[in-house]
Amino acid sequence: MKTDTAPVNTENYLDLDLSKHPAVFRNLTPTELYEHAIKNEEGVLTKDMALRVMTGKYTGRSPKDKFTVEEETSKEKVDWGSINQPISEETFDHLYKKVTDYLKDRKIYVMDLFCGADPDYRLPLTVVSEASYHALFSWNMFVRPTEEELKNHGTQFTVLAAPNLKADPATDGTKTETFIVCNFKKRIILIGGTLYSGEVKKGIFGVMNYLLPQDGVFPMHCSANEDENGNTSVFFGLSGTGKTTLSADESKTLIGDDEHGWSDKGIFNFEGGCYAKTIDLSPKKEPLIYATTEMPGTILENVELDENREPIFESRKFTENTRCSYPLTSIPNASDTGVANHPNNIIFLTADAFGVLPPISKLTTGQAMYHFISGYTAKVAGTERGITEPQATFSACFGAPFMPMHPTVYAELLAEKLEKHDTNVWLVNTGWTGGPHGEGERMDLKYTRRMLNAAIDGELENASFTSEPVFGLQIPGQVEGVPDEVLIPRNTWADQNAYDQKAKELAEMFVKNFGKYADQASKDILEGGPKI
């Protein structure tokens, strides 16, 4: 990591005095960690020898219990608010002592790893936890050093996890018994009161999103793949938009499925594994991911098992957020290096349940920044209690909970990369056509794939485009294999006046949401929004 805005943390987990610690298991192999997890009763083996773990009370992240230390190096850089909640240095020091005192009397698991496949920008990190399951998860998810690299590892960030330690809000300065606290100056993340491993993964992702922009590297919450000619595509999209389905193309090389950086050399994966949702997973819909669940080394989180210890992926008994963690080596078409060329195409995926946005459209740089900051999709009736009609959902940069700085910082970096490398940006609507949810129908996946391939393969380079009047999106006049009327959403509605009204309503939602960013947005960004 080139960034030197904070000193390398020399304290790290060494405050635990490992030489005198009762039991330290450091850099164990996955097989050894499996044995420890079973012995510690942290999980059970499925029929196919994957490890099923139950994370207890917390089956997802706890965003309201996540804090960032406000100190002199972070004070002016972090976008403070409900997502990046400040906490004092004194409170951090108190919690740090509480965690280290707690861990001193327990056996601990230590893993030395990297975040980032590019040696110039990777972050040497160490994960310390009382749970062997966290160690195995970290081995799966981060980049694993060679024996030679371990000799000169040089930890620059440490995760200290004490999942069984509960805080007392009255004396510890937390909101609940759970806490996730990041200190950029001391380069430590504290995790207490939750076993959910996503806190480890996303905690370090937030660190990369803070450090890399200071080196001119654009961090991305996205998936990425590469074709046989070296053409790289990047996919952004919130849950339910089809990001995993559309990027997991067996004919292409998978660079990674969730977190990447874009430097002056190209893109690189942050991770060494995947953390995929498994709810309703099937061999037909997601054959590559499904196959990993039958491999030793995979962790299944909160997945119900039947009497034969086989996963019931359609079960929501414990949570909707069932997951599996596995190393990228479990995917046959995964990249060996985790690095790729500058993207030829960037795809913003949205599932527009209002039936307004075109199935594919090309964005200007200003529009790309605006839609990137907006991070739009829509929830539909039945996905959550109380939702009876489509609801707009906005998550800045397609990953607001993990962005320590203001969204415009990342949008400006995006624009710089787009202009420098002549990258196309496409907005692809995998949602509804012919009317909103309940009246229209979901976009046919075969049409979406055909349009996406046409964009990625360069078929649309010389296409004629028409401008959509409300959002100003550029819609191709023809795409081979797709009916012309499908391309223009207004033409798919029986009542076109109703479409006009719904388009106006959605545009107003965009403008209202963007109001909180407008004071720091450039003229180019503001001009990329809808006109109402």
Each residue of 381-426: pLDDT tens digit?
544 445 557 789 999 999 999 999 999 999 999 999 999 999 999 9
Q: 239 an active-site residue?
A: yes
Say what the pLDDT of residue 385 is.
44
Of the residues 36, 243, 379, 437, only one is catalytic, namely 243
In a domain, 281, yes or no: no
Residue 323 known to be catalytic: yes
Chain segment 4-15, per-residue pLDDT in tens: 433 334 444 445
Same domain, 209 and 357: no
- What value does the mean pLDDT take over residues 357-362? 98
H or E segment to which residue 104 belongs:
helix 89-104
Boundary of a domain, candidates 217, 235, 270: 217
pLDDT band for position 21 (cuts 50, 70, 90): low
* Catalytic position from the list 202, 437, 450, 490: 202
Residue 258 annotated as catalytic: yes
- What is the b/e burial string over 135-161, where b = at least 16 CB atoms within 10 angstroms of the residue's CB? bbbbbbbbbbbeeebeeeeebbbbbbb
DSSP codes of every residue in 424-459? EEEEEE-SEESSSTTTSEEPPHHHHHHHHHHHHTTT
CATH number at 513 reads 3.90.228.20
Tell me, yes or no, whether 266 lies in a domain. no
User: 95-108: per-residue pLDDT in tens?
Assistant: 999 999 999 889 99
Catalytic residue among 52, 201, 221, 502, which? 221
**pTM for this prediction:** 0.94
pLDDT bucket at 253, cuts 50 / 70 / 90: very high
Indicate if 21 belongs to the active site. Answer: no
Q: Is residue 248 part of a domain?
A: no
User: Count of domains in the chain?
Assistant: 2
| Catalytic (active site) residue 406 | no
Evaluate the CA torsion angle 7, 411, 264, 244 in order and state its sign: positive
Residue 265: inside a domain, yes or no?
A: no
Query: Does 503 lie in the same domain as 355?
Result: yes
Q: Which of 79, 118, 249, 258 is catalytic?
A: 258
For residue 280, is it left (φ>0), alpha (ψ between -120 and 50) or beta? left
In a domain? residue 272: no
What's the rounded Cα separation, in Å, for the pair 216 and 237? 23
Q: Which of 61, 98, 134, 187 is catalytic?
A: 61
Which residue segment(s) compose the domain that 100 sits in? 12-49+61-217
User: Residue 137's domain is classified under what CATH number?
Assistant: 3.40.449.10
Q: Answer whether residue 502 is part of any domain.
A: yes
pLDDT at 510 over 60: yes
- Is residue 243 situated within a structural domain? no
| Interval 58-81: pLDDT, tens | 999 999 999 999 999 999 999 999
Average pLDDT of 45-59?
96
Mean pLDDT of 119-145: 97
pLDDT bucket at 20, cuts 50 / 70 / 90? low
Catalytic residue among 126, 244, 374, 433: 244
Quick check: is 442 catalytic? no
Question: What band does 1 get if pLDDT is binned at 50, 70 and 90?
Answer: low
Final residue before a domain boundary, out of 179, 195, 217: 217
32 and 181 within one domain: yes
pLDDT for 532 equals 81
Q: What is the pLDDT of residue 18?
A: 59
- Out of 3, 176, 239, 315, pick the active-site residue: 239
Q: Among 217, 239, 265, where does a domain finish?
A: 217
What confidence tens digit (pLDDT) does each residue in 280-308 have?
999 988 899 999 999 999 999 999 999 99
